[in-house]
Amino acid sequence: MEYRLLGRTGLKVSVIGFGGIPIQRVSDGEVGSILHRALDLGINFFDTARGYTDSEAKLGSVLHQRRNEAIIATKSMARTAKDMSSDIMASLKAMRVDYIDLYQMHNIKNKAALEKVLSPGGALAALQQAKEAGLIRHIGITGHIKDFLLETLQIPEIETVQFPFNPVEANGVRELLELAGQTETGVIVMKPLAGGAFSNTSLALRFVLEHPVSTVIPGMDSLQQLEDNVKAGLNQLPLSAQERMQLEEEVGQLGAVFCRRCEYCRPCRLGIDIPSVFLLDGYYRRYNLQGWARERYRGLKATAEQCIGCGECEEKCPYNLPIRKMLAEASGRLA
């Protein structure tokens, strides 16, 4: 396994990390074999979140036994110091560990959210306090809007950034990677397989790893997926011309109906969070997380059934997606 520095944290992380979303659907009996095998294969970076139901607990059931071999990252949607402090303690308890290597402010997607976490009573204050107390070691941020994340890389306390990057979602990545290099910010790539959309996982992972990223964290819920993904981190062979053409063909096939979560479609006049609907639909279809996706969908302030078909979102979409049709299809699965 190849290892790279996670920016100025000084941590050396496996280029193939472990994404903690799909582990939610793995039985308690299977979790041990998957995670122990991941560690044995050289994976040392494990990412989860407070919002991933029992993911923290399942990862912790194994990682606390082999704590010195694992770099644990988790994250919270908390925006205030009080809520973040509570989530940090909950994460420590769920994972049965004394400290967490990287705690991230999750899905910071607009200026209002950033200002709130940076305020005197914001989440960052709690993270700094926890870091001083030794409960966490490093602080990071995650988000889907690459242009907005550029602003966050200028904040000294933020040591890592996590965002989606794959052959489909490559726009804006170059500038973000360049600034991350200048600020020595560690780069964690989520959705390297576009939520499971790519049929050839090896090519997609190798494409991402050709760039100056620290680690990629595909979600895994089986030993076969684990073995397949790890291969991309063993021999860093550059993609051949034929392989690049194969990827480009698949990107072309996905591009017609694939939501990249650029959020240009927002705001909806009825308050429908269109990218979140499509994200949850992706979890439903690709991750086999039907119950989890439906539960989160029901928690949205406005759902796709409320769409009146005005078409404003389609006018703003830079990819000309048939959003109204896609919302109707997603509603049929999630409602």
Torsion angle of alpha carbons 79, 82, 86, 92, nearest 10°? 80
The mean pLDDT value for 259-284 works out to: 87
The pTM (predicted TM-score) of the whole model is 0.83
- pLDDT tens, residue by residue, 247-257: 998 888 776 57
Closest CA to 162 of 187, 127, 192: 187
- pLDDT tens, residue by residue, 50-67: 988 899 999 999 999 999
pLDDT grade for 282, boundaries at 50, 70 and 90: confident
pLDDT grade for 279, boundaries at 50, 70 and 90: confident
Closest CA to 214 of 1, 47, 36, 3: 3
The mean pLDDT value for 212-228 works out to: 94
Helix (H) or strand (E) holding 125: helix 123-132
Domains and CATH numbers, the chain: 3-239 (3.20.20.100), 274-334 (no CATH)
HEC readout, 259-289: CCCCCCCCCCCCCCCHHHHHHHHHHHHHCCC
What is the pLDDT of the chain when averaged over all its residues? 92
pLDDT grade for 156, boundaries at 50, 70 and 90: very high
Q: Cβ of 137: how many Cβ atoms within 10 Å?
A: 18
* Predicted pLDDT at 132: 98
* Predicted pLDDT at 305: 96
pLDDT grade for 83, boundaries at 50, 70 and 90: very high
Query: What are the structure tokens assigned to 184, written together?
Result: 């020595």
